[in-house]
Amino acid sequence: MQKLKKAIIPAAGLGTRFLPITKAVPKPMLSVLDKPTIQYIAEELISVGIEEIIIVVSPDSGVIEKHFGECEALEQRLLLDGKQKLYEIAKNTHRFSVKFVVQHEANGLAGAILCAEPYIKDEPFALLLGDELLVAKEGDKPCIKTLAEIYESTGNSVIATMEVFGDDVSKYGNIGIESEIDGVIKVNAILEKPSLNEALSNNAIIGRYVLSGEVMGMLKTLKPHGSEIYLTDVLDKLSKDGKLLASTITDDRYDVGDKFGYIKANVEMALKSQEIGQDTKEYIKELAKTL
């Protein structure tokens, strides 16, 4: 089995739910407190020892490249001024080995993944969507680490799931469960955003995956649905061949591509912050009295 060494972060979507800011700022650059979402995501990868990241960007998103690059003038200035802590923060963003590939046309997630093919070829890869933030609970393993461990002990592709109810079921890919042993789910079918009646379970697919070396080749052979090809078609095929596993996340998950999810992420991260946590708590308590 090939070792997991690389990760893809697709960050080239149009971000229409966040217009007008996404006209000029790619959605994964939206900041939760002082850090863009995409940096939190890159930091998740430290837990699995992956430092080789391929970020799929849209043609005009130079700002993501700038964020992960060196800014010598700023760093020198912070050093000269003796601002060691700020220097470390600025320097930290270029600790990763990041390659960028451009998706010229926003033709969906699977199209974005295929853009990274020259760097992945037939290797396994972690896939982390650029607008979902996962924060491991104190003492728990990050979701991506659990997925990587399952991949490494089985050689199979593994996807992250969470339980959803009511109308939410139709907002996500849905999995059919064949069995579940020690938290590892054997998946036997995948549906793309089913109606409530069609759904196979309450388990939704969320934006973290570890995909085996055969996936890139399978993506190349897919038939399009309109202008898009669907990753879920590949996942469904893997599940029918008995080669797809899933794990239910224990992390806090924020859909920061959605306005309410974005606000929740900011409020909760502010409450956890050493710097402003106490002030935020007092502010929220006072505010709540007026609601």
List residues binding ligand UTP (CB under 6 A).
10-18, 27-28, 56, 103, 106-109, 111-112, 129-131, 257
Residue nearest to ligand UTP (CB): 13
Is residue 134 within 8 Å of 99, Cβ to Cβ?
Answer: no
Q: What is the largest CA-CA distance in the chain?
A: 64
Closest CB to ligand UTP among 28 and 36? Answer: 28
CB of 36 to ligand UTP, least distance (A): 12
What are the residues facing 177 on neighbouring strands?
187
CB of 42 to ligand UTP, least distance (A): 13
CB of 276 to ligand UTP, least distance (A): 27
Q: Three-state DSSP class for 30?
A: coil
| Nearest Cα to Cα of residue 87 among 75, 72, 96 | 75
Closest CB to ligand UTP among 96 and 172? Answer: 172
Closest CB to ligand UTP among 44 and 131? Answer: 131
Closest CB to ligand UTP among 15 and 176? Answer: 15
Closest CB to ligand UTP among 131 and 236? Answer: 131
CB-side exposure of 284: number of CA atoms within 13 Å? 12
CB of 15 to ligand UTP, least distance (A): 5
- Which one-letter amino acid corresponds to residue 110? A
- Beta-strand ranges (E) seen in the chain are 6-11, 31-32, 35-36, 52-57, 97-102, 125-128, 132-135, 157-163, 174-181, 184-191, 203-211, 244-248, 252-255
Closest CB to ligand UTP among 103 and 156? Answer: 103
The total of other beta-carbon atoms located within 10 Å of residue 121's CB is 11
CB of 122 to ligand UTP, least distance (A): 22
CB of 178 to ligand UTP, least distance (A): 27
